[in-house]
């Protein structure tokens, strides 16, 4: 217990330093903590402020997350750093110090609650508000002494180290020495270290943890710097107060942390940073009246204003807010792009094809015959034979047509909302213009989501209004009623409940397209005119093998280079109802979804050399139905397959262009009975491509038997891994 408590405190201390630069990297956090001790008084004051704040959260009964995350302690750290720089350590200082940390603590809790309700970040507002209270409150307190050492400068370092002096002289000799020096000092000023060495070390930490953040810091600073130069503004605030850190923090926040890094996010930085500069000038004048420091207020106001505005939009237009914060701009970018490529058209409510077997689409969306205008997003279905005919030897009667009197299915679970019945079938070639839709059933699937099936045969409805229907249940039979010259099924989604409602464009969740004896898998797509379609039939063996419910556990024996190890996996569900596999040995997590038709992984956290990570890659996307010669394709995150050096370089261009891609494909073969298989082999391949050329590939083979994933083999370059399930 004490070991875990100490670990939580240690993690919280490191995270507090990292959060100042929007990072959760502990190596970077440790370096930033070390930089803060360049001025020892500042460093020890900042460190103690975290400990005190953590104790306050424990004292007032808050959970461990408040101690561990760093989100609730970094404002106290900033306050501690500032007090340590500007004031002498004595008893009055200690009293004010505790009061200041208490003020930050309560303001942090209040603003965090407000932020969660309103949807805006509170950033360093708790620190600023507490700072203003302290500044005004200590004016008449003569025992609180300003630090006579003044600001710790590079000259102070020169006395102790020729190395620091060498760095200083090197930087001053550079072509852009003036602006670059201000840039580095502005970076250091974020930690109240007003010297070049601190700035260089912060820049190095920034570059190590995120190339995108580093580029944004340069972009933000130089946009602000050039803004002052072009408008011939007073550069003294940037030279002496180092307010350039407002531009740097604004750029990182809006260019890659709260907004997904992209070409447009970089452009956003270019147009927003001048606003930050103007706000800085205005706030400097206003705050000067009261003798209060502006510090990071321009950064706070700019980011809160922009984020609040972006949350109110109808369309993102390429400026996407980060949904699942990764605390690294590169991961925010890659995971967003991967999610768009894989799930852009996914819908919460899944709609399936309303028939059995292979049907044809004679008229698709905006087909030009009857699917026009507000009624354009509809599909017509019929059946054609090998000669592309919809009828048998004759076509004098509706019964001569292949699709006539075949069952029509509910496309999803719902409630029968309306039925129109009693309309006779037309003679072939004839149309009932008065009863345009013919016999029709409307099913309600949710608020504002209805399906309509029309031109059905009279008297064949299996349900009454108000009945509950399940996906795939027969609701009626195909007919030739209404405006229908020959038998077919009209299908549309709509937002209103009445017959004749305008259509709603809505994808079909999963279906197969049949082309020249081949089949293609489609997910959340709209069938095209002329295509042959069918629903997917699942295979019991695959359904059972991938039925990974919370509480199930597996033990695999892994063999590599003659060495054997045991790994234990267990299935859990988190508080967000996301299901995942946990590997106890590597402390890794693989998140997945099984919707009854498709099994696919959504995320991985942990050791990328672990067996679970290979499992995650090899079974990235699996159709739960066996079809011969069917290939399933998908995309992986590039950090799954590329080595760190290649990814490191690629990160620099990632917001603008991707030349590294990771592609996935899988196929199946039956080992025994094709019609009722008891042994299926899944073969998958992951390819790492650079400019379209295959740079690296990993091969996988999974044996599905006895309703489990019994064994699998991985071939990765010269490395071969084998795993056998010994307990499930």
Residue 7 vs residues 48, 517, 607: alpha-carbon distances, Å: 17, 60, 20
Q: Which of 183, 220, 178 has its CA nearest to residue 202?
A: 183
Question: Which SS3 state, helix, strand or coil, does residue 535 take?
Answer: coil
Residue 373, C-beta contacts closer than 8 angstroms, at least 6 positions apart = none
Q: Which of 506, 461, 504 has its CA nearest to residue 479?
A: 461
What integer pLDDT is reported at residue 23 of this predicted model? 93
**Contact yes or no for 526/544 (Cβ under 8 A):** no
Residue 704, C-beta contacts closer than 8 angstroms, at least 6 positions apart = 541, 542, 545, 679, 680, 681, 682, 710
Token pair of 510 as six digits? 């999963």
Distance CA 571, CA 582 (A): 6
Residue 276 has pLDDT above 80, yes or no: yes
- Name the strand (E) or helix (H) holding 713: strand 708-716
pLDDT bin (cut points 50, 70, 90) of residue 215 is: very high
185 or 445, greater pLDDT = 445
Token pair of 315 as six digits? 């369309």
Token pair of 525 as six digits? 């797509």
**Strand locations in 537-625 (E):** 553-560, 563-573, 579-583, 588-594, 598-605, 621-623
Distance CA 615, CA 608 (A): 11
Residue 89, C-beta contacts closer than 8 angstroms, at least 6 positions apart = 41
Token pair of 56 as six digits? 């306050």
Helices (H) and strands (E) in the chain, counts: 20, 24
Distance CA 547, CA 594 (A): 7
Residue 246, C-beta contacts closer than 8 angstroms, at least 6 positions apart = 224, 276, 280, 296, 298, 299, 302
Q: Which of 569, 153, 120, 468 has its CA nearest to residue 304?
A: 120
256: DSSP letter: I
Query: For the residues 169-189, what does the mean pLDDT come to?
Result: 72
Token pair of 336 as six digits? 């967003």
Q: How many CB atoms lie within 10 A of CB 142?
A: 8
What integer pLDDT is reported at residue 165 of this predicted model? 53
Token pair of 105 as six digits? 């603590």
pLDDT bin (cut points 50, 70, 90) of residue 166 is: low
- Name the strand (E) or helix (H) holding 449: strand 449-456
Query: For the residues 700-725, what does the mean pLDDT come to?
Result: 94
**Average model confidence (pLDDT) across the chain:** 90
Spell out the SS3 assignment of 293-335. CCCCHHHHHHHHHHHHHHCCCCCCCCCCECCCCCCCHHHHHHH
The number of residues making up the chain comes to 728
Distance CA 139, CA 558 (A): 68
Angle formed by the axes of helices 263-290 and 297-310, to 10°?
Answer: 130
| Chain segment 393-415, per-residue pLDDT in tens | 776 789 999 999 999 999 999 99
Residue 455 has pLDDT above 80, yes or no: yes
Phi, psi dihedral angles at 583 (to 5 degrees): -100, 120
| Chain segment 590-645, per-residue pLDDT in tens | 999 999 999 999 999 999 899 999 999 999 999 999 998 899 999 999 888 888 88
Residue 153 has pLDDT above 90, yes or no: no
pLDDT bin (cut points 50, 70, 90) of residue 137 is: confident
**Contact yes or no for 696/705 (Cβ under 8 A):** no
Instruction: Using DSSP bridges, classify how beta strands 660-670 and 598-605 pair: parallel, antiparallel or unpaired.
Output: unpaired
What integer pLDDT is reported at residue 160 of this predicted model? 45
**Contact yes or no for 580/612 (Cβ under 8 A):** no
**Contact yes or no for 613/606 (Cβ under 8 A):** yes
536 or 152, greater pLDDT = 536
**Contact yes or no for 630/521 (Cβ under 8 A):** yes
pLDDT bin (cut points 50, 70, 90) of residue 432 is: confident
What is the distance, to the nearest Å, from the Cα of residue 671 to the centroid of all Cα atoms in its chain? 38
**Contact yes or no for 684/697 (Cβ under 8 A):** no
What integer pLDDT is reported at residue 158 of this predicted model? 43
Distance CA 446, CA 451 (A): 10
What integer pLDDT is reported at residue 11 of this predicted model? 93
Distance CA 648, CA 352 (A): 43
What integer pLDDT is reported at residue 492 of this predicted model? 97
**Contact yes or no for 185/28 (Cβ under 8 A):** no
Distance CA 300, CA 247 (A): 11
Distance CA 591, CA 550 (A): 12
Instruction: Using DSSP bridges, classify how beta strands 598-605 and 588-594 pair: parallel, antiparallel or unpaired.
Output: antiparallel
Distance CA 697, CA 694 (A): 7
**Contact yes or no for 456/481 (Cβ under 8 A):** yes
Angle formed by the axes of helices 297-310 and 244-252, to 10°?
Answer: 30
What integer pLDDT is reported at residue 157 of this predicted model? 46
Query: Is residue 339 classed exposed, middle or buried when 0-12, 13-18 and 19+ CB atoms within 10 A define those classes?
Result: middle
pTM of the model: 0.87
What integer pLDDT is reported at residue 643 of this predicted model? 87
Question: Which SS3 state, helix, strand or coil, does residue 81 take?
Answer: helix
Query: For the residues 471-483, what does the mean pLDDT come to?
Result: 96
Residue 289, C-beta contacts closer than 8 angstroms, at least 6 positions apart = none
- Name the strand (E) or helix (H) holding 475: strand 474-477
- Residue with the two structure tokens 């099936």: 453
What integer pLDDT is reported at residue 58 of this predicted model? 93
pLDDT bin (cut points 50, 70, 90) of residue 168 is: low
What integer pLDDT is reported at residue 152 of this predicted model? 43
What is the distance, to the nearest Å, from the Cα of residue 203 to the centroid of all Cα atoms in its chain? 27
């Amino acid at each position: 217990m004490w070991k875990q408590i100490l670990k939580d405190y240690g993690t919280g201390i490191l995270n507090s330093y990292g959060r100042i630069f929007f990072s959760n990297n502990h190596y970077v956090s440790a370096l930033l903590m070390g930089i803060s001790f360049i001025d020892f008084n500042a460093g020890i004051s900042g460190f103690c402020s975290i400990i005190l704040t953590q104790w306050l959260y424990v004292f007032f009964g808050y959970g461990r997350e408040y101690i561990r995350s760093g989100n609730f302690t970094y404002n106290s750290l900033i306050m501690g750093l500032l007090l340590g720089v500007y004031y002498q350590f004595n008893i009055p200082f200690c009293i004010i110090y505790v009061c200041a940390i208490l003020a930050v603590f309560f303001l942090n809790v209040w603003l965090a609650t407000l932020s969660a309700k309103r949807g805006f970040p509170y950033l360093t507002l708790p620190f600023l508000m507490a700072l203003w209270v302290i500044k005004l409150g200590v004016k008449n307190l003569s025992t609180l002494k300003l630090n006579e050492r003044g600001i710790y400068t590079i000259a102070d370092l020169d006395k102790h180290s020729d190395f620091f002096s060498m760095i200083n002289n090197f930087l001053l000799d550079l072509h852009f020495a003036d602006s670059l020096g201000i840039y580095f000092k502005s970076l250091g000023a974020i930690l109240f270290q007003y010297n070049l060495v601190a700035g260089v070390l912060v820049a190095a930490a920034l570059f190590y943890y995120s190339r995108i953040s580093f580029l944004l810091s340069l972009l933000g600073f130089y946009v602000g710097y050039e803004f002052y130069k072009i408008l011939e503004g007073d550069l003294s605030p940037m030279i002496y107060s180092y307010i350039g850190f407002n531009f740097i923090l604004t750029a990182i926040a809006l260019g890659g942390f709260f907004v997904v890094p992209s070409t447009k996010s970089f452009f956003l930085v270019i147009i927003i940073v001048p606003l930050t500069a103007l706000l800085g000038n205005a706030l400097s004048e206003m705050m000067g009246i009261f003798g209060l420091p502006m510090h990071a207020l321009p950064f706070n106001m700019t980011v809160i204003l922009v984020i609040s505005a972006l949350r109110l939009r109808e369309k993102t237009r390429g400026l996407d807010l980060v949904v699942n914060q990764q605390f690294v701009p590169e991961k925010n970018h890659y995971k967003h792009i991967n999610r768009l490529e894989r799930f852009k058209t996914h819908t919460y409510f899944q709609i399936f094809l309303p028939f059995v077997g292979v049907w044809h689409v004679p008229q698709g969306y905006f087909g030009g015959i009857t699917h026009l205008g507000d009624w354009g997003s509809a599909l017509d279905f019929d059946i054609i034979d090998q000669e592309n005919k919809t009828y048998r030897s004759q076509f004098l009667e509706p019964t001569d047509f292949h699709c006539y009197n075949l069952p029509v299915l509910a496309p999803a679970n719902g409630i029968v909302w309306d039925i129109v019945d009693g309309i006779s079938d037309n003679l072939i070639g004839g149309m009932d213009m008065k009863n345009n839709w013919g016999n029709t059933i409307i099913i309600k699937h949710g608020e504002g989501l209805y399906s309509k099936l029309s031109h059905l045969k009279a008297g064949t409805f299996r349900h009454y209004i108000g009945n509950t229907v399940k996906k795939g249940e027969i609701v009626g039979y195909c007919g030739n009623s209404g405006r229908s010259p020959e038998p077919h099924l009209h299908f549309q989604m709509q937002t209103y409940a009445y017959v004749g409602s305008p259509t709603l464009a809505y994808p079909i969740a999963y279906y197969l397209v049949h082309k020249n004896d081949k089949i293609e898998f489609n997910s959340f797509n709209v069938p095209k005119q002329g295509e042959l379609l069918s629903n997917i039939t699942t295979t019991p063996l695959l359904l059972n093998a991938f039925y990974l419910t919370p509480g199930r556990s597996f033990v695999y024996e892994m063999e590599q280079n003659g060495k054997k190890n045991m790994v234990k996996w267990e299935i859990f569900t988190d508080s967000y109802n996301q299901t995942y596999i946990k590997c106890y040995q590597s402390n890794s997590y693989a998140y997945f979804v099984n919707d009854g038709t498709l099994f696919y992984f959504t995320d991985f956290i942990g050791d990328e050399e672990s067996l679970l990570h290979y499992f995650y890659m090899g079974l990235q996307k699996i159709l739960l139905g066996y079809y011969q010669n069917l290939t399933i394709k998908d995309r992986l995150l590039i950090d799954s397959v590329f080595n760190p050096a290649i990814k490191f370089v690629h990160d620099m261009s990632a917001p603008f262009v991707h030349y590294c891609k990771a592609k996935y494909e899988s196929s199946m073969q039956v080992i025994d009975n094709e019609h009722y298989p008891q042994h299926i082999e899944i073969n998958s391949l992951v390819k790492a491509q650079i400019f379209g050329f295959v740079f690296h590939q990993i091969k996988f083979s999974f044996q599905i038997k006895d309703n489990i994933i019994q064994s699998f083999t991985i071939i990765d370059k010269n490395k071969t891994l084998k795993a056998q399930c010994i307990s499930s």
